[in-house]
Chains A and B, each alone.
Chain A
Amino acid sequence: MKPIRIGILTVVSTAAFTGCLFREDRAAIGIREGVLHMGNGAEPQALDPHLVSGFTEHKILTSLFEGLATLDGTTLEPKPAAAESWTVSDDGKVYRFTIRENAKWSNGDPVTAHDYVYAWQRNLSPGLGSEYAYMLHCIWNAKVFNEGRLTDFGQVGARALDERTLEVTLENPTPYFPAMQIHFSFFPVHRANIERFGRIDERGTKWTQAGNMVSNGPFLLTKWWPNRIITVAKNPYYWDANAVRLKEINFYPIDNLQTEELTFRAGGLHVTDAVRKSRLPKFRATMPQYLRMHPFLGSYFYRFNCARAPFTDVRVRRAFAMSIDRELITKNLLHGAYEPTACFTPPNTAGYTCTASIPYDVAAAKRLLAEAGFPDGRGLPPVELLFNTSEEHKLIAEAVQQMWKKNLNASVTLVNQDWKVYLDALTNMDYYVARSSWIGDYYDPNSFLDCFLTGGGNNRTGFSDARYDELIGRAAKTPEQGERYRLFQEAERILLDQAPIAPIYLYRRVYLRVPELKGWDENLLGYVIYKNVYFETCGAK
């Protein structure tokens, strides 16, 4: 028998043997049965809301846990969740939350104010080493407790007045405090559940395993097979269970974008986590009904090392920032996936839109460079542009390298480093120019602008401006939103004038989604309220 015939016979018989010639489409079954299959990027680090730090985990945890407040999916205004209402004192520093009478844990226990106090104590416990505990530092004395300088949690501004009343005293008026409650660092945990598996400040106990976890969200954990699937099923004890229309959600940790796309196209997913930008023209042409794009609360920018020549001179920083053609990068290189930006905070962040900008102006950039003593780039020392390994970062860096060469006659070398080596260089400020990005932690311009406070851990540019620090500090103590935003406007103007950064583009969530999936809000936070999600059952994919 000829080898080709043997080959064909082998393949066909294998297929027949495994019984897969007539396979059903998982997505179609899901639509019929109310089971959502979604790609979730990487495998979560953990499912403990006080030990995780990423958007990957956030998407799963918001199905399992519920904070005191949620956000409206469209307007992003705070709305009651586990708390049915709240009041705030005139000085904006004391919040009083009333927990719903029918709020329950997935084991049927009532959710009480004590649960929130316990959860926040746990998250702030120094021993736990929670990377996101700083989100709670707006609470009175939380920071000193977290740093171990205060051991009595009773002196921290979170206390249960009774089973259903939680009083929170803040360091400063924080108008966005209710909006912060959607962040996993504020989620409650069930005390008995935690202590059944370990101490309050013990990392990595088994309480987050399927079958062990007690949660208070619209769904409960039923399966966690690492790197395979995480399944959550409708929680019958959830206070608003009648509103929950999905039976189950399956999260697939598919970290390869090509695999995720192919799985979607083969009917294995209803929603992908992301898509390859190079595929956008194809998607627009052949499957526009699946392609979803909407703004996301994140900025992509380049940092300048303000402590290293020639970037010690603000004119050089501005010249470099002003000679990046962002439009060209987003339109031609990234296929319109992102929005070019001339400022740092994404527009309409909780109603705030920056009015200052760093324009693309090559003539002005050349003038600035000449004023700094480098006419037509003469005498400009060679600089390095650092980025972490990624095709996209490389593409942008190569374009910027060419722009700086053409516009400023600057000699730029590209330096590609592995993620951790790159982070090390950034933290130790061992770079000239470095690609960077920032995703807002919460829905307020402060989440972006407090990055560049003098000596701040996320500053990493050496930028220091007393007026800027003062403005951000004053904004933190100002309860009135209009005045806060005026202070932020002035601060961002200083930031852009001083140019420790060169803004490039604003992120967008770009992914594939079946049209039958409804109630999936497209907001700046990428915040999906799973209890509102459902399938329109007329017609399958």
Chain B
Amino acid sequence: MLRFVLRRLLEFVPVFFIIVTLTFFLIRLAPGGPFAAERAVPEEVLKRLNEYYNLDAPLYVQYFDYLRDLAHGDLGPSFKKPTLTVSEWIALRFPVSLELGLYALGVALLIGLAAGFLAALRPNTATDHVPMSLAMAGICIPNFVLGPLLVLVFALWLEWFPVAGWDLQQDKVLPSITLGAAYAAYVARLSRAGMLEMLAQDFVRTARAKGVSETGVVLRHALWGGMQPVVTFLGPAAAGLLTGSFVVETIFQVPGLGREFIQAAFNRDYTMIMGTVLFYAGLILLFNLIVDIVQAWLDPRVRLS
């Protein structure tokens, strides 16, 4: 196990290096620099700004300087929001995205697993068709439609929750449901499929033949195996929930990292783009590693090798 983890961690190094290099050069290929503005910035000022942020140096020098700073854990200053450094911005904004992501994951698992398992236990009945139809709708309705709809019903008509914000506990309900809904739908369909597969296995039939109760069969024999597809999905899903919350963050004014990431790209805020890309890349790699470990723990047939 330890050797596996260490080897995977070592594999991260070249992957990271490739991501740094590609991102660094790709963003500089995009037309328009960080200081381009509708009001022309005077030549002298532009020169000073480029000097200040080392943008006047040859590209390869900038690249190696960036690598050197990165090795020291320095992601540099933000070009467009100079009040904080990139690391400080990430430290400020990521906990919000993390919190939103965790709540959304909770929503996805709670609703998804319950609906999926219920459907699997009574296949081809109303208990199966209704949640699965809802799941299909959940997958199909984009969050930029679902979010305003939820706001309209629960914030404006019923006045149960605030329209937007991220200060009070009740602020967090609608964004979490909006972000988690589509994932809940996937989880429901995957857990239903996984459970159905498990319930058709020989060892389940054996357990039933031995007289184990239906609850015992489900909880002791089928549940863990039935969750396998969900666990495989959870790695990318968790990363997706944490990184892909731009729309939800915008609709509900959530001060998370997703918006920072997208705005940095629009603003050509090079250091901020680099910082957020690397941070997200690290997260995705980490989640994939965790999924591999959890899968091995859940299913003895999977070996870490």
Contact = CB atoms under 8 A, between A and B. Distances in A.
Interface of A: 3-4, 6, 11, 14-15, 18-21, 23, 43, 45-48, 51, 53, 126-131, 133-134, 146-148, 203-204, 206, 208-209, 225-229, 252-256, 258-259, 262-263, 265-266, 268, 418-425, 427, 437, 456-458, 460
B264 to A, nearest CB: 12
Nearest to B267: A420
A424 B35 CA distance: 11
Interface of B: 30-33, 35-45, 48-49, 52, 77-78, 80-85, 89, 92-93, 114-115, 118, 127, 130-131, 134, 148, 151-152, 154-156, 159-170, 173, 250-253, 255, 259, 266-268
B17 to A, nearest CB: 27
Contact of B37 (A18, A47, A131): A131
Contact of A19 (B45, B52, B170): B170
Contacts of B259: 227
B49 A129 contact: yes
B251 A423 contact: no
14 contacts: A4-B130, A14-B173, A18-B170, A20-B160, A20-B173, A46-B81, A46-B83, A48-B82, A204-B83, A226-B93, A227-B253, A265-B163, A421-B30, A458-B39
Contacts of B118: 3
Contacts of B266: 418-420
Given A203-B82, A458-B39, A228 B32 contact: no
Contacts of A458: 39-40
Most buried by A among B36, B40, B118: B40
B164 A263 contact: yes
Nearest to B167: A228
Contacts of B82: 45-46, 48, 51, 203-204
B255 A228 contact: yes
A223 to B, nearest CB: 11
Nearest to B35: A131
B37 A259 contact: no
Nearest to B42: A134
A18 B44 contact: no
Contact of A265 (B81, B130, B156, B250): B156
Nearest to A418: B266
A437 B38 contact: yes
A514 B259 CA distance: 30
The 10 A-B pairs of least Cβ separation, nearest first, read A420-B32, A457-B40, A204-B82, A227-B255, A20-B170, A424-B31, A129-B48, A424-B32, A129-B49, A423-B36
Contacts of B52: 127, 129, 203
B32 A256 contact: no
A262 to B, nearest CB: 4
A14 B150 CA distance: 14
Contacts of B161: 15, 18, 20
Contacts of B40: 427, 456-458, 460
B173 A3 contact: no
Contacts of A418: 32, 266
B223 to A, nearest CB: 20
Contacts of B92: 226
A133 B152 CA distance: 45
A215 to B, nearest CB: 15
Given A127-B52, A226-B93, A421-B30, A266 B127 contact: no
A51 B35 CA distance: 12
A255 B151 contact: no
Given A254-B253, A418-B266, A437-B38, A3 B160 contact: no
Contacts of A3: 115, 118, 127, 130-131, 134
Nearest to A209: B83
A263 B42 contact: no
B227 to A, nearest CB: 20
Contacts of B160: 15, 20-21, 23
Given A3-B115, A53-B37, A228 B156 contact: no
Nearest to A258: B148
Contacts of A134: 42, 45
Contacts of A263: 163-164, 253
Nearest to B44: A147
Nearest to B89: A226
Given A46-B81, A209-B83, A227-B93, A262 B36 contact: no
A181 B203 CA distance: 83
A143 B232 CA distance: 62
A446 to B, nearest CB: 15
Given A131-B37, A266-B162, 19 more contacts: A3-B118, A3-B134, A14-B173, A18-B161, A18-B170, A19-B170, A20-B168, A20-B170, A23-B170, A131-B39, A134-B45, A227-B253, A228-B255, A262-B151, A420-B30, A420-B31, A423-B32, A424-B31, A427-B36
A266 B41 contact: no
A271 to B, nearest CB: 16
A234 B82 CA distance: 27
Central interface residue in B118, B148, B162, by most chain A CB within 10 Å: B162
A227 B96 CA distance: 11
Contact of B164 (A23, A146, A268): A268
Contact of A266 (B31, B80, B156, B167): B156
A425 B134 CA distance: 47
B48 A259 contact: no
A421 B80 contact: no
B251 A421 contact: no
Contact of B48 (A126, A208, A265): A126
Contacts of A208: 83
Contacts of A460: 40
A48 B84 CA distance: 12
Given A20-B170, A133-B45, A420-B266, A259 B252 contact: yes
